[in-house]
Amino acid sequence: MLDFRLDEEYEALRKTVEEFARDEVAPVIGDLYERNEFPYGIVAKMGRMGLFGLPFPEEHGGMGGDYFALCLALEELARVDSSVAITLEAGVSLGTMPLFRFGTDEQRAQWLPRMCTGEVLGAFGLTEPGGGSDAGAMRTTARLEDGHWVLNGTKAFITNSGTDITGLVTVAAVTGTKENGRKEISAIIVPAGTPGFTVSKKYSKVGWNASDTRELSFADCRVPEANLLGERGRGYAQFLQTLDEGRIAIAAVGVGLAQGCVDESLRYVGEREAFGHKIGEYQAIKFKIADMEVRAYNARLAYYAAAAKMLRGEPFKKEAAIAKLVSSEAAMDNAREATQIFGGYGFMNEYPVGRFYRDAKILEIGEGTSEVQRMLIARELGL
């Protein structure tokens, strides 16, 4: 009944991605991060091994796996680097998933095969400079005119939106007013390069420096009416569904980062000496690392449990919020402790833990802040 072992194929995938991260990502990511460069070579390799197609059926060019398989891959990548993990996470669950789930046959045929191989990345434009979690504050508009949607507005912090291989951005926009007076929000596919669609230069970020994050602006940007994704007026409901599962994926990224901190610390304390002993022999260090392992372990159980409910088709909103909350806090705490263990070297960018420290904070913010997760959990409890 209670069996936490991974099925053979999940374990084989986990191991494959572990090797990939160790052999292909670890040796090069430090330089890319330092130079704020998007990891095109790594993305191409991940594409060839099918990671961008993991949860999609083979008929669309996918791998026929599921969302949990994606989470396992994300965890293993994030053990080594979060920029790479988030590029995959956003590419799959924000870029491709909405098209797969809500797209017409034509839209799926046009985009999915190349997105599943990582040749084309999709992005998801929800957040605006004036509001993230508050959809009522959305100001980007799309009006229907002569068979075209005409978009105007600005989107902020959009992952994968300005790479050389970005093919499209799915943009949430106000398309009218509902009977109850609320804004009618719809999702519209805007292909890269459409006139009137401008991509700003990359943000200067605290972390995730090898990932692509940009501000997007739309000025009388016209796309065909057929680019509506899903039902008109269902845009926000669609995004909510996307966000719930995205939280499990972000939880997996957090667990990976938290575990990466344990990996790096274990390696370091077995080598570094102080006062005549390996620092790993001191109880102050042992206890820190034991606590770090506990946090990573707990957070992993939380996201496995949320994923299990999702795969069984049961409601998983609360579990996803718990997993995301626990894991982002584990990542932040472990990154802080690992940096402390490394001492002065922890503050140097050439060591991975410094990168982990910078990458951890966003996990408490992106895809719903920790406050939003608590709000959701309380709401699920009837408060």
Partner 1 sequence: MNIVVLVKQVPDTWSERKLTDADHTLDRESADAVLDEINERAVEEALLLKEAHGGEVTVIAMGPGRATDAIRKALSMGADKAVHVSDDALHGSDVIATAKVLAKAIGTVEGFDLVIAGNEATDGRAGAIPAILAEILGLPQVTQLRKVTVEGTTVKGERETEEGVAHLEASLPAIVSVTEKINEPRYPSFKGIMAAKKKPVTTLTVADLGVDAGEVGLGGAWSGVIEASPKPPRSAGQRIDDEGVGGSKIAEYLVGQKLI
Neighbouring residues of 349: CB distance < 8 A, sequence distance ≥ 6: 30, 33, 34, 355
Q: Does 16 bind partner 1 (CB under 8 A)?
A: yes
Cα dihedral 18, 22, 25, 28, rounded to 10, equals 180
Q: Which of 360, 358, 357, 349 is nearest to 30 (CA)?
A: 349
Q: Which two tokens stand for residue 213?
A: 């994050």
Q: Give 20 or 342: the residue with its C-beta nearer to partner 1.
A: 20
Which one of 6-14, 80-88, 259-267, 298-306 is the stretch in contact with partner 1 (CB under 8 A)?
6-14
Cα distance between residue 252 and residue 257, in whole Å: 9
- What amino acid is encoded at 63 in this protein? M
Q: Which of 13, 32, 86, 341 binds partner 1 (CB under 8 A)?
A: 13
Give the range of 56-64, 126-134, 146-154, 362-370 binding partner 1 by CB under 8 A: 56-64
Residues 6 or more apart whose Cβ sits within 8 Å of residue 206? 358, 361, 362
Two tokens, residue 195: 């006139």
How many other C-beta atoms lie within 10 A of the C-beta of residue 183? 19
Contact between 20 and partner 1 per CB under 8 A: yes
How far apart are alpha carbons 272 and 351 in whole angstroms?
14
Q: Which is nearer to partner 1, 41 or 193 (CB)?
A: 41
Q: What H or E segment, with its residue span, contains residue 364?
A: none
Query: Judged by CB under 8 A, does residue 48 bind partner 1?
Result: yes
Total site size for partner 1, rule CB under 8 A:
17
Cα-only R_g, the chain: 21
Whether the CB-CB separation of 83 and 39 falls below 8 Å is answered with yes
Question: Which region, judged by CB under 8 A, interacts with partner 1, from 14-22, 242-250, 251-259, 296-304?
Answer: 14-22
What is the rounded CA–CA span in Å between residue 188 and residue 222? 11
Work out the burial of residue 240: count CB atoms within 10 Å of its CB; fewer than 13 is exposed, 13-18 middle, 19 or more buried: exposed
Least Å distance, CB 17 to partner 1, is 8
Q: How far is the CB of 70 from partner 1 (least distance, A)?
A: 9
The reply on whether position 9 binds partner 1 by CB under 8 A is yes
Q: Please measure the distance between the N-terminal and C-terminal CA atoms of the chain and give it in whole angstroms.
A: 32
Residue 333 neighbours by CB under 8 Å, 6+ apart: 258, 292, 295
3-state secondary structure of 132: coil
We find the least distance from the C-beta atom of residue 77 to partner 1, in angstroms, to be 13
Q: Which of 128, 264, 329, 367 is catalytic?
A: 367
CB of 293 to partner 1, least distance (A): 20
We find the least distance from the C-beta atom of residue 353 to partner 1, in angstroms, to be 21
Binding mask 216-255 for partner 1 (x = CB under 8 A): ----------------------------------------
- Minimal distance, residue 39 CB to partner 1, in Å: 16
Q: How many other CB atoms are found less than 10 A from the CB of residue 150?
A: 18
19 makes contact with partner 1 (CB under 8 A): yes
Q: Which helix (H) or strand (E) holds 95?
A: none
Piece in contact with partner 1 (CB under 8 A), picked from 10-18, 271-279, 286-294, 315-323: 10-18
Nearer Cβ to partner 1 (46/362): 46
By the rule CB under 8 A, 63 interacts with partner 1: yes
Alpha helices per DSSP H over 103-170: 105-116
12 binds partner 1 (CB under 8 A): yes
In the structure, how many helices (H) and strands (E) does the chain have?
12, 10
Q: Which is nearer to partner 1, 16 or 152 (CB)?
A: 16
**Residue 128 tokens, joined:** 């605006």
Residue 372 binds partner 1 (CB under 8 A)? no
Instruction: For partner 1, give the closer residue by CB, 45 or 205.
Output: 45
Q: Is 50 in the site for partner 1 (CB under 8 A)?
A: yes
Find the part of the chain contacting partner 1 (CB under 8 A) among 62-70, 85-93, 257-265, 354-362.
62-70
* Annotation says 367 is catalytic: yes
C-beta closer to partner 1: residue 45 or 232: 45
Q: Active-site positions?
A: 367
Catalog residues that contact partner 1 under the rule CB under 8 A: 8-9, 12-13, 16, 19-20, 45, 48-50, 54, 58, 63-65, 69
